[in-house]
Amino acid sequence: MGLDSPDDAGVYKLNSQTALIQTLDFLTPVTDSPYEFGQIAAANSLSDVYAMGGEPITVMNIVCFPSNDLPEEILAQTLRGGLDKINESGAVLVGGHSVDDQEFKYGLSVTGIVHPDKVKTNSTAATGDAIILTKPVGTGIMSTAIKAKLATPQNIKESVAVMSMLNKTAAEVMAQFFVNACTDVTGFGLAGHLLEMAKGSKKEIMLFSQKVPLLNNVLDFARMGMVPAGAHKNRSFFKEWTQIDEAVDRAIVDLMFDPQTSGGLLISLNKKDAKACVEKMKSKGINAWIVAEITNDSDKGFLNIF
Ligand code: CO
Ligand code: CO
Ligand code: CO
């Protein structure tokens, strides 16, 4: 599985029992705390392995650091945050590479494994499926509100907790069900990643915007116009394949296209199992909700936002 259809990671079958999953990701700082940034960047990088149904095995650090401008301690704390998340994932840090750069960036190259029959692609959703989302959305808009000094300490705390949470437990619960498709929510926003699933699977998806869990107060910030450029870019990029019901609040639409850092999993499975899966996730402390469904076939893929 590779470049012909965009998915979360590359997958290479080694033998009948094992396939290799490879992915890498890195970010510029998303919080003032380097330790938290390290946690978030690592959770974000590891997520693509979980989105493929796999288990991360080894990781390597990727570091671009302005050593003339920033104290070494910032890098040390970032790497400590990353390592804590790597340890939590059960993967092993085996190396890395750092270069001097004007802008600080950190992330991981992650290698995972999966049974070849259990790979979860984003292109195999089935008509009639319900789609579960496992984290609230709004981290892009919240970051904008944080920069504008509008967010409360509680808002910041919640957003950091959501972004640094591993998708590990969600993936473990997902593995107990027969799942047709999975991906994770990152830069294209919830609507964009649903559309990627719709296009890959040649399906039409209905997104129930009222059912999407949001960070506290983020709707107010969206109404105040604290919307990052990426949200508007996403909306216009996917315009051709999207229909938005007139009744949907503008600020809600912005949230549907808000680029997420280290967002939740999007899991497509039959409706009956979806309810049981959500219950199981909730019992494990995951803020999981059914937010969409696959309504019918569509050659080019389509998304209705209600
Ligand atoms: Co992904
Ligand atoms: Co990625
Ligand atoms: Co996937």
Tokens (6 digits) for 104 = 């600080």
For 21-55, write each residue's pLDDT tens digit: 999 999 999 999 999 999 999 999 999 999 999 99
Q: Do 159 and 271 share a domain, yes or no?
A: yes
Residues with CB under 5 A from ligand 3 (ion): 8, 51-52, 120, 122, 182-183
Cα 86 to averaged position of ligand 3 atoms, centre (Å): 20
36 & 168 share domain: no
Show which of 118, 146, 165 is a domain's final residue: 118
Position 6 scores a pLDDT of 78
Q: Is 125 part of any domain?
A: no
What are 130's two structure tokens? 């319900």
pTM score of the predicted model? 0.96
Residue 27 resides in a domain: yes
Q: How far is the CA of 108 from the centre of ligand 2 (A)?
A: 10
In this structure, which ligand is nearest to the CA of 266?
A: 3
Residues 15, 112 share a domain: yes
Q: What is the CA radius of gyration of the chain?
A: 19
CA dihedral 172, 177, 183, 185 (to 10 degrees): -70
Answer yes or no: is 4 within a domain: no
Q: Which residue has the tokens 């699933």?
A: 197
Mean pLDDT of the chain: 96
* Same domain assignment for residues 147 and 284: yes
Q: Give the Cα separation of 277 and 259 in Å (integer).
A: 26
Residue at a domain's end among 118, 143, 164: 118
- State in Å: Cα 180 to ligand 3 middle: 10
181 in the same domain as 109 = no
- Indicate which ligand has the atom closest to the C-alpha of 180: 3
Co-location of 171 and 51 in the same domain: no
Q: Which of 43, 121, 51 is nearest to 265 (CA)?
A: 51
Q: Is residue 124 in some structural domain?
A: no
Provide the number of structural domains found in the chain.
2
Closest CA to 11 of 114, 99, 84, 107: 114
The CATH number for 91's domain is 3.30.1330.10
Per residue in 151-209, pLDDT (tens digit) is 999 999 999 999 999 999 999 999 999 999 999 999 999 999 999 999 999 999 999 99
Q: How far apart are CA 201 and CA 297, in angstroms?
A: 8
**Ligand located closest to 50 CA:** 3
Distance CA(120)–CA(112), nearest Å, equals: 13
Would you state the structure tokens that stand for residue 173, as one six-digit string?
A: 């619960």
Same structural domain, 282 and 134:
yes
- Residue 216 sits in which domain range? 130-305
Mean pLDDT of 225-230: 97
